[in-house]
Amino acid sequence: MGKTNPKPRAPAAYRMTTWAVSKLSQRMLTATAQVSGLTHYLMASGKRRDYRSNLSPVVEFGPGCRPWRAFQNQILNVLELLKVPSQTDEDILNRMTLHGGSYIDATLGRGNGLILATFHSGNWELSGLMLSLAGYPITTVAGEQLRAGWSDEVKSLKERFGIKMAGETSGLRELYRDLEANRALVLHIDGDVFTGGIVVRFLGRTLAVPRGPAHLSRVRSAPVALAYCRRAPDDHLDVHIEPPMPPPVDADGERTLTQSLMSRIEKLVVEDPGQWCIFRDLFGGKARPLV
């Protein structure tokens, strides 16, 4: 009888970081993120420039809207995710509230699956864990997680919570099968892992965004709902599921649905820019190829 190969040991840096984070309270995590996030904002001139440039047509930064808040929130997101291995399910669920779960229940009750279009707001990583802990069958598409060398560990962590991780090279047929199996498919519509796109108006300019949510919805007759997370001042996390939109019937319908999603996301970003953690140049670089 052949021996099974043991699971490779996690990188030393990952093990040391998760151990150190496990010793910190939520208050200490927040304090660490505030200092580290402000430092990162001041030193990462490229990210700082891109973040401000993305928002410049629609957001005026000032005393009530500090641009470094997003950098602080992003570091806190990472620290909270790295603390998960040392926490119980109850620890995670007690920090989060789900709003609109009845929309998921009703939609999955019809048996055609559900597409949850989301964006990088609040702590989107913990949001997925919470939905899975709440009993929802979650599939998500993800590229590299956190940093090179850590990706496999982070993906394995999510899989232990019951999340199915589809890679960026996964074909549409695999996602079709997940919808056919009545799963909730979580797709980031502000992500940069996509091969096709739809041009929309966003933050005062034109932008190509992933076609996937609208296209999968049309092909598989699966409704699309916007899902997003908001971080409260006390670091409680509110996960919102908005009313599902019916599947489009043609390519024009795909464009209309995608624009509706991006218009709603724009409103949420403008309301609280510090919740949105995108630090790459969305508009000034070369356009992604559209297929």
Q: Can you tell me the distance from the alpha carbon of 32 to that of 29, in angstroms, rounded to the nearest whole number? A: 5
Neighbours of 54 (CB within 10 A): 24
For 185-195, the pLDDT digits (tens) are: 999 999 765 55
Domain assignments of the chain as residue spans, ordered by start:
88-275
At residue 291, the pLDDT reads 27
Q: Are 227 and 186 in contact (CB under 8 A)?
A: yes
At residue 153, the pLDDT reads 87
For 242-278, the pLDDT digits (tens) are: 999 999 999 999 999 999 999 999 999 999 999 999 9
Task: Let me know if 260 is exposed, middle or buried by CB neighbors in 10 A (0-12, 13-18, 19+).
Answer: middle
At residue 285, the pLDDT reads 52
Q: Are 238 and 99 in contact (CB under 8 A)?
A: yes
At residue 194, the pLDDT reads 57
Q: What is the pTM of this model?
A: 0.91
Q: Can you tell me the distance from the alpha carbon of 171 to that of 148, in angstroms, rounded to the nearest whole number? A: 23
Q: Can you tell me the distance from the alpha carbon of 139 to that of 243, in angstroms, rounded to the nearest whole number? A: 20
Q: Are 219 and 248 in contact (CB under 8 A)?
A: no
Q: Are 161 and 132 in contact (CB under 8 A)?
A: yes
User: Which residues of the chain have a pLDDT value below 70?
Assistant: 1-9, 143-146, 167-170, 192-196, 285-291
Helix, strand or coil for residue 224? strand
Beta pairing class for 197-202 and 205-210: antiparallel
Q: Can you tell me the distance from the alpha carbon of 208 to that of 262, in angstroms, rounded to the nearest whole number? A: 11
pLDDT above 90 covers a percentage of the chain that reads 77
Which whole-number Å values give the CA distances from 163 to 15, 101, 242, in the listed order? 22, 17, 21
Helix (H) / strand (E) containing 186? strand 184-188
In Å, how far from its chain's centre is CA 70?
Answer: 14
Q: Can you tell me the distance from the alpha carbon of 42 to that of 72, in angstroms, rounded to the nearest whole number? A: 12
In Å, how far from its chain's centre is CA 285?
Answer: 22
Q: Can you tell me the distance from the alpha carbon of 198 to that of 258, in angstroms, rounded to the nearest whole number? A: 8
142 Cβ neighbours under 8 A, 6+ residues apart: 155, 165, 166, 167, 168, 193
At residue 241, the pLDDT reads 98
At residue 180, the pLDDT reads 95
Q: What share of the chain is helix, strand, coil (3-state, %, to 5)?
A: 45, 20, 35
At residue 286, the pLDDT reads 42
Which amino acid belongs to residue 154?
V
Angle at the Cα of 116 from the Cα atoms of 264 and 233, rounded to 5 degrees: 60
